[in-house]
Amino acid sequence: ADAKQDYIVKDISLAEYGRDEIAIAETEMPGLMALREEYGEAQPLKGARITGSLHMTIQTAVLIETLTALGADVRWATCNIYSTQDHAAAAMAANGVPVFAVKGESLADYWDYVGKIFDWSSDDDADRTANMILDDGGDATMFALWGARIEAGEEMPAPQNAEEIEMQRALKAFVKAKPGYLTKSVKAIKGVSEETTTGVMRLYQIAKQGKLPFPAINVNDSVTKSKFDNLYGCKESLVDAIRRATDVMLAGKVACVAGYGDVGKGSAASLRDGGARVMVTEIDPICALQAAMDGFEVVTMEEAVKRCDIFVTATGNEDVITAEHMKAMKHMAIVCNIGHFDSEIQISALDNYTWKEIKPGTDLVTFPDDKSILVLAKGRLVNLGCATGHPSFVMSSSFTNQTLAQIELFTKADDYKNDVYVLPKHLDEKVAALHLEKLGVTLTQLSQKQADYIGVPQQGPFKPDHYRY
């Protein structure tokens, strides 16, 4: 192998296929293409060294090439062991982007790749580090923050699962090989932009403890992210994944969606559109009431396991479907998760039963009484594990927020404290505006008289910050 090779992908010869699909995706990602047009000359990300940890898909390739078109250098890994599209990774590597992502990589490789995206040192500059993080789920941020804490002499808590065992192993190896480097990195990092609900939850917890060493932008809670990607994205990608994984007839089946937040709402709609009758479980009375008034039966998981054929977790919580639940399900029930981590379903509690991999992403698990269930993507997020994630158009909306957040943090870090922020509403509205023309939307203009009457500026922002859409 080439000693200078600075990437790990499945098969570099897939690059042309990847490039062809990237070209198609670009036609569906008007927000990102507009940012290239608007900022290409000014190069606001010149000097940015972005450590990026986000599903290495075709859509992410268009994000990466937007960041580099604006002047950034990036080092990239995926944020889930099953989500990489190998042809997208190959196209990036072929274009000189250091990318470390293979669909189906081991957990050990996953965490070693997180180390690789933080290693910006070179022969002529051993001290060079990242100065930005772009994260999805918080793994990269956790790696850097824990690295600095270990270097300061702190002990990590004992690992609780395979994920944490590999994370701690990779982190300790990194710290041993490059002592002090992650402390230097954390000092140099101007900020992190975080993509998803679960990662944002982790950031708020760290900020609450006063341990956030740089500002963070919560991209998830831009309206044009969570009310679009989490909702309309899952509405398309959930049944796509179940169909590709199982070829099951959806019409007439009874499905259960755990959690009726943004992802749950999209997932329930996805299954209903497929002809399934859908039940919902919730802990929050507001979301339970929404589900009921949207026409879904709201039940407990104990009730659902008796009646449903398909189960989807969408809570961002843990132990939502337990081993006991799965033992009580019907023969050939389909079980999957669309939330960020695999802990929503107690997959490891099934280790002692018989697993048969029907194809990558589809496992038949048989219990001692001969009853079987189908587990998809080994409990990891099913739409990226068994299908190709959300369509490009909705990811354009998410990633336009990501790019604006990176520009904001890189160019105006001093305006922010070490806390978690959302992008201002005028930028949220801008992201939406960039996606209208592609859909043939004609917006109505407020007259000055009307603007005065409802008390908003004629050119927006059109809603107060507390408005919920």
Query: Per-residue b/e over 234-271, b at no fewer than 16 CB within 10 Å?
Result: bbbbbbbbbebbbebebeebbbbbbbbbbbbbbbbbbb
- Sign for the CA dihedral angle at 61, 64, 69, 73 comes to negative
Is 305 marked within a binding site?
A: no
- Beta-carbon contacts of residue 2 (< 8 Å; ≥ 6 apart): none
Is 41 marked within a binding site?
A: no
Q: Cα 24 to the chain's mean position, in Å?
A: 22
User: Binding segment for ligand NAI among 42-50, 123-131, 171-179, 225-233 (CB under 6 A)?
Assistant: 225-233
274 counts as binding ligand NAI under rule CB under 6 A? no
DSSP character at residue 462: -
**CA nearest neighbour of 39 among 457, 423, 410:** 410
Residue 366, class by beta-carbon neighbours within 10 Å (0-12 exposed, 13-18 middle, 19+ buried)?
middle
Among 18, 44, 147, 339, binds ligand NAI (CB under 6 A): 339
59 counts as binding ligand NAI under rule CB under 6 A? no
User: Binding segment for ligand NAI among 164-172, 258-266, 327-335, 420-428 (CB under 6 A)?
Assistant: 258-266
Q: Are 215 and 416 contacting, i.e. CB atoms less than 8 angstroms apart? A: yes
**CA nearest neighbour of 194 among 235, 226, 149, 170:** 226
Nearest-approach distance from CB 37 to ligand NAI, in angstroms = 28
Is 266 marked within a binding site?
A: yes
Is 141 marked within a binding site?
A: no
Question: Using CA atoms, how far apart are residues 465 and 146, in angstroms rounded to an integer?
Answer: 34
Q: Are 87 and 60 contacting, i.e. CB atoms less than 8 angstroms apart? A: no
Cα→Cα distances 312→7, 142, 178, 264, 306, Å: 35, 27, 42, 9, 15
Question: Using CA atoms, how far apart are residues 9 and 77, in angstroms rounded to an integer?
Answer: 10
Is 261 marked within a binding site?
A: yes
198 counts as binding ligand NAI under rule CB under 6 A? yes
Residues that bind ligand NAI (rule: CB under 6 A) add up to a total of: 31
User: Binding segment for ligand NAI among 29-37, 95-103, 105-113, 333-341 (CB under 6 A)?
Assistant: 333-341
Cα→Cα distances 467→111, 115, 127, 223, 450, Å: 40, 41, 46, 10, 19
Q: Which is nearer to ligand NAI, 13 or 300 (CB)?
A: 300
Q: Which is nearer to ligand NAI, 185 or 281 (CB)?
A: 281
383 counts as binding ligand NAI under rule CB under 6 A? yes
Nearest-approach distance from CB 141 to ligand NAI, in angstroms = 14
Question: Using CA atoms, how far apart are residues 285 and 291, in angstroms rounded to an integer?
Answer: 10
Q: Are 385 and 339 contacting, i.e. CB atoms less than 8 angstroms apart? A: no
338 counts as binding ligand NAI under rule CB under 6 A? yes
Is 317 marked within a binding site?
A: yes
264 counts as binding ligand NAI under rule CB under 6 A? yes
**CA nearest neighbour of 88 among 18, 167, 8:** 18
User: Binding segment for ligand NAI among 58-66, 179-187, 206-214, 313-321 (CB under 6 A)?
Assistant: 313-321
Is 352 marked within a binding site?
A: no
314 counts as binding ligand NAI under rule CB under 6 A? yes
Question: Using CA atoms, how far apart are residues 379 and 387, in angstroms rounded to an integer?
Answer: 14
Nearest-approach distance from CB 21 to ligand NAI, in angstroms = 19
Q: Which is nearer to ligand NAI, 83 or 185 (CB)?
A: 83
What is the footprint of ligand NAI within residues 78-107 (CB under 6 A)?
none
Is 262 marked within a binding site?
A: yes
Q: Which is nearer to ligand NAI, 185 or 198 (CB)?
A: 198
Among 263, 276, 291, 333, binds ligand NAI (CB under 6 A): 263
Q: Which amino acids are annotated as binding site for NAD(+), given as ranges?
A: 196-198, 230, 259-266, 282, 317, 338-340, 383, 390
Residue ranges of the binding site: 57, 136, 195-198, 225, 229-230, 259-266, 282, 317, 338-340, 383, 390
Using CB under 6 A as the criterion, which residues of the chain lie in contact with ligand NAI when the complex forms?
Answer: 196-198, 226, 229-230, 233-234, 258-264, 281-284, 287, 314-317, 320, 338-340, 381, 383, 390
